[in-house]
Structure 1
Amino acid sequence: MTDHEHDLQVVREATERLLTAVAKLDNAALAEESHLPGWSRGHVLTHLSRNADALVNVFAGRPMYDSADARDADIERGSGRPLPEQLADLRASHDRFMAQTEGDQDWSRTVELRNGVTDLASNVPFRRLVEIELHHVDLNVGYGLEDLPEEFTGREIDFLADRWSAHPEVPPTLLAAADGRTWRTGPAGEPAVTVSGPAAGLLAWLAGRGDKGASLTTSGGPLPALPPL
């Protein structure tokens, strides 16, 4: 069972880690490319701020974003702001998100995210954590997939493996981490492919980041091609 109170505490810690790292940058660094094609570091930071506000909307029963175009326009418009504005926005939006979670609410209720996706309210804090941790990596400021907390890496692999569990293009696949942890993805049945390597490498492949699986080893067939997230 998801422990939303635990996840909210981890969100606080991850946000402070992110803010500390970003505070070491300067305006010129914000304009440089992130690991996400077409996005500067300023784009990534603005997205993180607007995502926090969007999740406030989710808790309040409003649409997550007014529209896809409005979401993209907000990110573009805010991407060129100087460092002090980015930091202030990131902290303020985090505070709004945390304040929204402190009110009385039914954590077992179903909420609606983007594109008709639904989830339990209790899972939303972890979804925010995913945004913070993976986009911290995307900023290209020396925080890599291998630096992610072990608990987070395992839970995100589990989430993404489940996401592809019923996809017809993904064969039954066993994921074997070097530390002994295992996961399954693709449809049920005897695994056709086993993908092995460090947990960070498995996450890179599932999330389309880093070397995207180039450092992994496979048996039973080639590395399965995953649909885009």
Structure 2
Amino acid sequence: MIDHAHDLASVRDATERVLTAAAELDNASVAEPSRLPGWSRGHVLAHIARNADALVNVLEGRPMYATASMRDADIERDAPRPLDVQLADVRESGARFQDAGAAPADWSRTVELRNGVVDSASRVPFRRWVEVELHHVDLGIGYELEDLPEEFTRREIDFLVERFTGHPDVPSTQLTDGTHAWSTGRASDKPEVTVTGRPADLLGWLCGRRDGAALAVDGDSLPALPPL
């Protein structure tokens, strides 16, 4: 069962971690490339802030973004700002998200995200947690997939495995870290591929942040996953 209050607290803690780490940067390093192609660290910080406001929209029954082009334009507009402005924006937008999450609400209701995706309102805090944690890694400032909370890594693997389950372009695949096992891809009585590795490497492959070179593959080659 999803515990939205627990996830809201986890989002708050993750936001503090990224703020503390980013505070060690300077204006020059904020303008340097992040690990995301075409984005500086300023783009990543701007996205973290604007995503918080977008998810407030979701919780309050408004469209997540007015348009896809406006989402992109807002990030481009905010990316060049100096570090102190970036940090203040991440902090203040994060507080707005926490306030929206604390408001009395029916957490079992269905909400709409980008591109017509729908989900339970109760999962919105976890979706925000994903944004903060993975984009902290994307900043490339010493926080790695191995540093993610164990609970987060397991749940995000669960989430991504579910997302690819039944996808016609993904072969029937079993994943294991030696303790837990997951199945994803096309339905089959027997997996076509078994992928084994550390949780951080499994997550990195599933979320497109690692190429899977550290994973062991039994069967066909490592499946190519569709973009998220």
TM-score bracket relative to the smaller structure: over 0.9
CA distance in 2, matches of 1:149, 1:56: 24
CA distance in 1, matches of 2:57, 2:47: 15
CA distance in 2, matches of 1:133, 1:103: 24
Residue ranges of structure 1 left out of the alignment (5+ in a row): none
Report SS of the residue matched to 1:218.
Answer: strand
- Structure 1 residue 181: deviation in Å? 1.3
Residue ranges of structure 2 left out of the alignment (5+ in a row): none
Asked if 1:84 is matched to 2:84, the reply is yes
Report SS of the residue matched to 1:39.
Answer: coil
Task: Please name the residue that 1:24 is paired with.
Answer: 24
- Cα deviation code 1:152-172 (max 9, x no counterpart): 001001100111101101111
What amino acid is the match of 1:213? G
Report SS of the residue matched to 2:29.
Answer: helix
CA distance in 2, matches of 1:54, 1:198: 33
Task: Please name the residue that 1:118 is paired with.
Answer: 118
TM-score by length of 2: 0.98
CA distance in 2, matches of 1:171, 1:78: 40
CA distance in 2, matches of 1:165, 1:123: 19
- Structure 1 residue 102: deviation in Å? 1.1
Task: Please name the residue that 2:161 is paired with.
Answer: 161
CA distance in 2, matches of 1:150, 1:101: 24
Report SS of the residue matched to 1:64.
Answer: coil
CA distance in 1, matches of 2:187, 2:3: 28
Asked if 1:134 is matched to 2:124, the reply is no
CA distance in 1, matches of 2:193, 2:168: 15
- Structure 1 residue 188: deviation in Å? 2.6
Query: 1:1-229 residue pairs with structure 2 within 5 A?
Result: 1-178=1-178, 180-189=179-188, 190-210=190-210, 212-229=211-228
What amino acid is the match of 1:69? S
Cα-Cα RMSD? 0.7
CA distance in 2, matches of 1:186, 1:198: 20
Structure 1 segments, 4+ long, off by >6 Å, are none
- Structure 1 residue 121: deviation in Å? 0.3
CA distance in 2, matches of 1:213, 1:203: 10
TM-score by length of 1: 0.98
- Structure 1 residue 34: deviation in Å? 0.4
- Structure 1 residue 187: deviation in Å? 2.3
What amino acid is the match of 2:43? H
- Cα deviation code 1:165-187 (max 9, x no counterpart): 01101111110114x11111112
CA distance in 2, matches of 1:132, 1:28: 22
What is the aligned-residue identity percentage?
Answer: 65
- Matched residue pairs, number? 227
